[in-house]
Amino acid sequence: MSRLPRRNPRAMALKTLIRWEKGKPLLDEILSQVLVKSVLPDPRDRAFCGELVNGVVRHLYYLDYVLSRFSEEPLERMDPEVRNLLRLSAYQLLFTRVPARAAVAEAVKLLKRRRGKWVISFVNAVLRRVAEVRENPPEPPREMNPVAYLSVRYSYPEWLVERWVSRFGEGETERLLAAGNQRPPLVVRANTLRVTRDQLLVYLKPEIPEADPCRYSPEGIVLQGFRGPITELRAFRVGWLQVQDEASQLVSYLLSPRPGERVLDACAGVGGKTTHLAQFMRNTGRIYACDLYPWRLKRLEENAKRLGVTNVEIISGDVLTSVKALGGNFFDRILIDAPCTGTGIIRRHPDIKWARKPEDLVKVPEKQLALLEGLAGTLKPGGIMVYATCSLEPEENEEVVRKFLGMSPKFEIEDPRPVLPKTAWELVDERGFFHTYPHRHGLDGFFGVRLRKRSH
């Protein structure tokens, strides 16, 4: 059998989906690996490949439901290449403006020299039938179990839908599921070490007419309709902006470090919040940015250099082990953007919904609580510790905080509104917890709480 052509974005998308389905590893990592080995010089082809991959994973159950209506052969019995090619093509027919003739013809073209005539005829016939219902695709019956209906229609695992229905009700859950299937807008943060948001908006408008200020974050800008690589923007290359969702920007406000302080970013990732904290500190003091993964820290270093951030010290490895050498009562402020199930950012990473299992809501909170307990002693009396996740689940949020406060009487919840922009006060509940939701606010789903360590 001949290899899939590396110059064809559909072929590279198919290759990615086959690899993802086999073991459900991180979709972004597989896609990056496939694109590196591909020969797709045109950024539009690379973007199209990414759109196809994420689209299929986002709408997986529904695509399978539609295909099963027109195929006598069960999908689970098909060869992985044929199954995923059908999904890829059905996605184009049902969710994009790709002409039906092109979607079907390209699928057949990929199979030639790789499969026998029977397989080619079968794929062609199934896709033609899907194309016929393009304007009015079949819907799963609403009379069925509401959880089963929502699971198939919006492509989420039943256990997660069931959780949300019992918590939010059927109507709100449907809005949440639909919001999680929307492609999120590209949001950037003005790097106020170099430019104001207003200056950046004026600079971006000729290139991106629909660049608009964010509703909640004073530094945020939504790049509506922008689909090109961010690296194409000169403002990115010269360090005037950083990609960061608005909800993530607001987490930095919860901490609000001051110039000259010693700050720990315990789970720094690629440095979105780290470099934002540097803006609050006016590039003074010291930010200790720690992460387990060297590739993330390399990206953080690159971002800091591009943005002109000079007050960051990078620490590679387990944060609880790494900060022991610094001693107790060392930090003025600590940010714990804890590893979590990520149910608040499914719209950005659709593979999350297929990777998570119910047992994660037992295992993950244990690790989150260990982080809080392990770092509490490194905070100075009177200092601030912010605990945040991009999860919607109470087990990872309010419950972790409740358990921590039960074990750590020196800490108390502090009302975050005085340090938040007034526009964001509505995101804080009566207990002092910060929440954002994709379907309510149009933001990534985040949780945050500001904890103060008593002075005595």
The residue with tokens 């780290």 is 274
156: nearest Cα among 183, 176, 141: 176
Give SS3 for 194.
Answer: coil
The single residue listed with the structure tokens 């109507």 is 171
Within 10 Å of residue 22's Cβ, how many Cβ atoms?
10
- Is residue 378 within 8 A of residue 329, CB to CB? The reply is yes
Helix, strand or coil for residue 288? Answer: strand
Active centre residues (catalytic): 390
Using the 8-state DSSP alphabet, how is residue 422 labeled?
G
373, 408 in Cβ contact below 8 A? yes
Return the SS3 of 383: strand
Token representation of residue 356: 């998570």
Per DSSP (E only), the strands in 159-225 are 186-190, 211-213, 220-223
Phi and psi angles of residue 136, each rounded to the nearest 5 degrees, phi first: -145, 70
Structure-token pair, residue 357 = 């299992």
Q: Do residues 340 and 390 touch, judged by C-beta distance below 8 A?
A: yes
> Do residues 98 and 87 touch, judged by C-beta distance below 8 A?
no
Contact criterion met (CB below 8 Å) for 286 and 262: yes
**Which token pair is 301?**
């270093």
DSSP letter for 242, please: E
User: CA-to-CA distance for 26 and 358, rounded, in angstroms?
Assistant: 18
- List CB contacts of 7: < 8 A, sequence separation 6 or more: 38, 39, 40
